[in-house]
Amino acid sequence: MRVHLDHNATTPIRPEALEVLCELSRRLAGNPSSVHAAGREARGWLDEARERTAAALGCHEDEVVFTSGGTESIQLALAGAVRAGGPGRGLVTCAVEHSAVLAAADRLEREGRPVVRLPVDGTGRVSVDALEAALTPATALVSIQTANNELGTLQPVVEIGELLARRGRGRPAFHTDAVQALGRIPLRAIRERADLLSFSAHKVGGPTGVGVLVRRTGLTLEPLLGTGSQEGGLRPGTESVAAIAAAAVAIELAVREQGDYAARSARLCRSLWEQLTACIPGVLLNGPDLDAPRLPNTLNVSLPGVEGRTLVARLDLEGLEASAGSACASGSLEPSHVLLALGHASERARAALRLSFGRMGGEEDVHNTVEILRRTISAPR
Ligand SMILES: Cc1ncc(COP(=O)(O)O)c(C=O)c1O
């Protein structure tokens, strides 16, 4: 029996979403921009998916932009808002963002725009005061993630939204990468304070290849790819209606079941941590304390004397699927930029292992994980 504790990388598609994906892939024959009956049927499903997504996320349907995933939502938000801000305007973000944000920031910097990457404290949080001090008239956008994918750290995004709102007309826009937060923590307060929010369907039991960008009405974005009439002129290309409809179902269910998932996975994380500390001397917790506000399903530990990426391969042979950092950086030999940003030595950063529970996790996963880890670590290498 394999244990998959890598749900922050991706999580299996939910049966309800799979059913919609298969049914509509079989049934739909039209392009949603076509005026004939087949096109109108596809348009109907697309409109319904937009309404359901908007209702689940607590926004207006005109504010929902469907994209190809979290990465594209983020690129559109960052490049789109900063470029729309005019020449010389730039970005304030932070050092522990996902590589999608950091890559967009690098690209904006290469365009000659000012980019500030704020440091974080030992748990991965940015300081709101430091952020305020970094704002200048050139700041077009602030982008700070809601929850960190490697550590589970929650950023003070409600406070940041309020700080920016107090600056009134001409203030920087506020984007938050909420990809890991959806379905795991309540998002309404954050949604009300951010101008742009990025989401990804495959993190909540939807299909891969569908993302959502929520864009506050009236906020101008420069499209990434020329012009086209789809998605309010922001994203040219025929919409993947079956996948979008399946994503909407998954998002709706993730929001509805958030409380249960959070409670169950928080219990499992605590149990896993307690058992690890009992049987692996010197194990260290990376990121926030288990009693602090955090993503409920994510545990990041450093196991003394091991190299996380080698350990992941050995654990895989033993039947445990985990990760040494974000899935996107798994091929890299460099220690995680997130662990290094906490101020940890390279040795501790290299020894990091991320374990992330899905909505179906149970106590047997904890038991099997501890057994596999104990066996693997004590085995001669
Ligand atoms: C915090 C965060 N942002 C963005 C992404 C990118 O999302 P996608 O895989 O849909 O492009 C991920 C995926 O790992 C993530 O964890």
pLDDT by residue (tens digit) across 311-328? 999 999 999 999 986 555
Task: Say which CATH number the domain at 127 has.
Answer: 3.40.640.10
Cα–Cα nearest to 326, from 300, 348, 345: 300
Cα–ligand 1 centroid distance for 200 (angstroms): 7
Residues 297, 242 share a domain:
no
Boundary (domain end) residue, out of 224, 256, 288:
256
Residue 25, classed as helix, strand or coil, is helix
Task: Say which CATH number the domain at 330 has.
Answer: 3.90.1150.10
**What span, in angstroms and rounded, lies between the C-alpha atoms of 350 and 303?**
9
Residues 82, 217 share a domain:
yes
Q: pLDDT by residue (tens digit) across 328-345?
A: 555 556 789 999 999 998
Residues 235, 94 share a domain:
yes
Q: How many domains does the chain have?
A: 2
Cα–ligand 1 centroid distance for 98 (angstroms): 7
- Ligand 1 mutation target, pool 179, 190, 251, 298, most atoms within 8 A of CB: 179
Boundary (domain end) residue, out of 256, 273, 295:
256
Residue nearest to atom 4 of ligand 1 (CA): 70
Residues 219, 102 share a domain:
yes
Residues 150, 46 share a domain:
yes
Residue 343 tokens read as 């101020």
Ligand 1 nearest-atom number relative to CA 73: 11
Residues 27, 7 share a domain:
no
Residues 102, 62 share a domain:
yes
- What confidence category does residue 381 fall into, taking pLDDT thresholds of 50, 70 and 90? low
Residue nearest to atom 8 of ligand 1 (CA): 70
Q: pLDDT by residue (tens digit) across 188-228?
A: 999 999 999 999 999 999 999 999 999 999 999 999 997 77
Q: How far is CA 260 from CA 183, 196, 253, 292, 357, in A?
A: 10, 27, 11, 19, 13
Cα–ligand 1 centroid distance for 7 (angstroms): 12
Boundary (domain end) residue, out of 222, 256, 290:
256
Residues 155, 89 share a domain:
yes
Catalogue the active-site residues. Answer: 328
Pocket of ligand 1 (CB under 6 A): 69-71, 74, 98, 100, 145, 149, 177, 179-180, 200, 202, 211, 326-328
Residues 308, 247 share a domain:
no
What was the pLDDT predicted at 333? Answer: 62
Residues 237, 269 share a domain:
no
Mean pLDDT of the region 158-187: 97
pLDDT value at 117 more than 60: yes
Looking at the DSSP bridge assignments, the partners of residue 300 are: 286, 354
> What is the pTM for the complete model shown?
0.96
Looking at the DSSP bridge assignments, the partners of residue 284 are: 302
Give me the domain span that covers residue 363: 3-11+258-378
Cα–Cα nearest to 204, from 181, 226, 223: 181
**What span, in angstroms and rounded, lies between the C-alpha atoms of 184 and 191?**
14
Cα–Cα nearest to 272, from 330, 353, 347, 332: 353
Residue nearest to atom 16 of ligand 1 (CA): 149
Ligand 1 nearest-atom number relative to CA 200: 10
